Structure 1
Amino acid sequence: MAYWLFKTEPDEFSIDTLGVKGTSCWEGVRNYQARNMIRDDMKVGDSVLIYHSSCKQIGVAGIARITREAYVDHFQFQVDSDYYDPKSDPDNPRWLMVDIEFVEKFKRVLPLSVLKTMPELEAMPLVKRGNRLSVMPVSESEWQAILSRVVR
């Protein structure tokens, strides 16, 4: 089993949204490095930290689990979608997505400001300046360090 962190803007899709839906596709990833991780590394059963960004309470909000491995993100072909990519070819699609299911919402968001103070996370891309990836791997030790600080 592997561990991941997925960033989302809660005005668009939050841990609460996932809680209501139960299961959802994780679409709209438009970065090749992140796409490659989705394609090559994400497996059913992997655990995911849901991270809220671009909001008042930036930080880790809960946990999800991958329930379906990489498949074609059909939004890349929908002209009216925010994720439309006119350069993507249906015979050789550029973008993929996975499905995730809700596991847990934390009682409080674990803020980025706290994550940045944790020595166990100093190598984690999330706490480094300029990181833009919407999905990223989390080591088991980073996962355990984060979970040790959340309020459940």
Structure 2
Amino acid sequence: MAYWLMKSEPAEMSIDDALAMPAVPWFGVRNYQTRNFMRDVMRVGDGVLFYHSSCAEPGIAGIAEVVSTAYPDHTQYDSKSHYFDPKATQETPRWMMVDIKAIRKTPLLSLTEMRTHSELETMQVLQKGSRLSITPVTTAEWNAVMMLLMK
């Protein structure tokens, strides 16, 4: 089992929106490293820290899990989509996605608060210049976040 932090802008998909759905297709990823995480490393059952980004108070807003293996992101083929990629074809898709299922909303663990906990200092989301929308989380980091969310 692996763990991930997945960022979503709450105006596009909040933890409340995700909880109202049976599963959330994580589409629109257009970064090769992040695509490779989904395609090559993510597995059904992996844990997800659902992170609200690009908002007044960014931070971990909930817990989710990966519920599908990677499959082609349909938005890459849609010329009307913001995520359209003219180089992608059905035969050779460039972009992948997975489905996640929100498990529960948590008290917000803000980015500011995360920075105050030494056990989280290695988290990729806290590193200078880190902009990936999906990052791996170590077991130690996952456990530390779980303890903080239980307080």
2:120 corresponding residue in structure 1: 121
In structure 2, C-alpha distance between the alignment counterparts of 1:17 and 1:76, rounded to whole Å? 23
Shift of 1:58: 0.6
In terms of fraction of residues, the more strand-rich structure is: 1
1:8 corresponding residue in structure 2: 8
2:73 corresponding residue in structure 1: 73
Could you tell which deviates more after superposition, 87-96 or 135-144? 87-96
In structure 1, C-alpha distance between the alignment counterparts of 2:137 and 2:124, rounded to whole Å? 9
Shift of 1:22: 2.5
2:45 corresponding residue in structure 1: 45
Shift of 1:150: 1.5
1:135 corresponding residue in structure 2: 134
1:146 corresponding residue in structure 2: 145
Q: Which amino acid aligns with 1:29?
A: V
Shift of 1:15: 0.5
Task: Look up the SS of the partner of 1:103 in the other structure.
Answer: strand
Which consecutive aligned stretches of 4+ in structure 1 deviate over 3 angstroms post-superposition? none
1:83 corresponding residue in structure 2: 83
Task: Look up the SS of the partner of 1:27 in the other structure.
Answer: coil
In structure 1, C-alpha distance between the alignment counterparts of 2:22 and 2:143, rounded to whole Å? 24
In structure 1, C-alpha distance between the alignment counterparts of 2:87 and 2:75, rounded to whole Å? 13
In structure 2, C-alpha distance between the alignment counterparts of 1:3 and 1:57, rounded to whole Å? 23
Shift of 1:89: 2.4
Structure 2 residue 62 is the aligned partner of structure 1 residue 62? yes
Identity rate, percent: 48
In structure 2, C-alpha distance between the alignment counterparts of 1:24 and 1:111, rounded to whole Å? 23
2:110 corresponding residue in structure 1: 111
TM-score by length of structure 2 reads 0.96
RMSD: 1.1
In structure 2, C-alpha distance between the alignment counterparts of 1:56 and 1:123, rounded to whole Å? 24
Q: Any stretches of 5+ residues in structure 2 without a counterpart?
A: none
Q: Which amino acid aligns with 2:144?
A: A
Shift of 1:64: 0.8
Task: Look up the SS of the partner of 2:142 in the other structure.
Answer: helix
TM-score by length of structure 1 reads 0.95
Q: Which amino acid aligns with 1:51?
A: Y
Shift of 1:52: 0.3
Shift of 1:57: 2.0
Q: Any stretches of 5+ residues in structure 1 without a counterpart?
A: none
In structure 2, C-alpha distance between the alignment counterparts of 1:47 and 1:139, rounded to whole Å? 11
